[in-house]
Amino acid sequence: MRDALNKTGRPIFFSMCEWGVENPALWAPLVANSWRTTGDITDSWTSFTSILDKQVGLDKYAKFGAWNDPDMLEVGNGKMTNDEYQAHFALWAALKAPLLIGCDLSKLTNETLTILGNEELIAVNQDKLGIQATRVKQEVYSTGSRDYWAGKLSGARYVIILFNRESKASDFNFSLTRDFGLPAGMYVSLRDIITHTDIGIYHVDVISFPAIPSHAVKAMVMTVFQNNGELATE
């Protein structure tokens, strides 16, 4: 199939599916542009988070033009909350997953359209480096977990997703050096890419975000600067 498509001389995105049965991440980059990593997703919190967990560790097999596919988006199908759908879309964007809309387009609500039409998250998904985000830290509690996802972007930037899987609002704290591997003493600016607002500029190692709601995300782009104010070297 790959060879036949290449012979057409036309740009074609080859999406391959064998539901992750034969560990396609190990060999599919030589065959296709994307490959399904799991069985089919359903419109539920359990299905979404279960498939998300199965993406941990697969980032090392992905590259520009060859990506893991955790299946289509369930945003707008009605069985999860808007916060859960926002988390679903933000994480799939950071994973560089194909953003395939899986709901009835004739019945889009304004809330669903806002989630699916988020240009800043789409830009993260389409970043020219094509680097898949990975979970850099997980804190597990009796009420659920607090997950920290990050991925490199072009222009000395990173996408950061703080995902509250607890059943209550939770505080998040991350270290730029320990959790994200940045050199000490760097300046960073943070922008919220869901609310489309600049958060601020920081010259500290540990940054905190209090009371992220249950089953919600804080999605940000972090830009890294050197002490002289210039962008850090990519």
Give residues with Cβ within 8 angstroms of 42, minimum separation 6: 74
pLDDT tens-digit map of 24-44 = 999 999 999 999 999 999 999
Rounded to whole angstroms, the Cα distance separating 195 from 209 reads 15
Residue range of the domain that includes 51: 2-125
Single pTM value for the model = 0.95
Model confidence band, residue 229 (pLDDT cutoffs 50, 70, 90): low
Question: Looking at the domain assignment, is residue 15 inside a domain?
Answer: yes
Strand 134-141 and strand 144-153: pairing? Answer: antiparallel
Q: Which of 125, 142, 168 is the last residue of a domain?
A: 125
Here the CATH number for the domain that contains residue 206 is 2.60.40.1180
Same-domain status, 165 and 119? no
Better pLDDT: 82 or 8: 82
Judged against a pLDDT cut of 90, whether residue 114 lies above it is answered with yes
pLDDT of residue 228: 63
**Structural tokens at position 202:** 């920081």
pLDDT tens-digit map of 44-98 = 999 999 999 999 999 999 999 999 999 999 999 999 999 999 999 999 999 999 9
Q: Which of 106, 125, 144 is the last residue of a domain?
A: 125
pLDDT tens-digit map of 149-202 = 999 999 999 999 999 999 999 999 999 999 999 988 899 999 999 999 999 999
Question: Looking at the domain assignment, is residue 234 inside a domain?
Answer: no
Judged against a pLDDT cut of 90, whether residue 3 lies above it is answered with no
- Matching residue, tokens 């985000």: 133
DSSP state for residue 149 in the 8-state scheme? E
Same-domain status, 113 and 139? no
Question: Looking at the domain assignment, is residue 231 inside a domain?
Answer: no
Same-domain status, 114 and 211? no
Same-domain status, 140 and 196? yes
Same-domain status, 116 and 6? yes
pLDDT of residue 7: 84
Same-domain status, 87 and 104? yes
Give residues with Cβ within 8 angstroms of 214, minimum separation 6: 83, 144, 164, 166, 167, 168, 169, 170
Same-domain status, 38 and 71? yes
Rounded to whole angstroms, the Cα distance separating 182 from 234 reads 11
Same-domain status, 117 and 150? no
pLDDT tens-digit map of 84-95 = 999 999 999 999
Better pLDDT: 226 or 17: 17
Same-domain status, 192 and 98? no
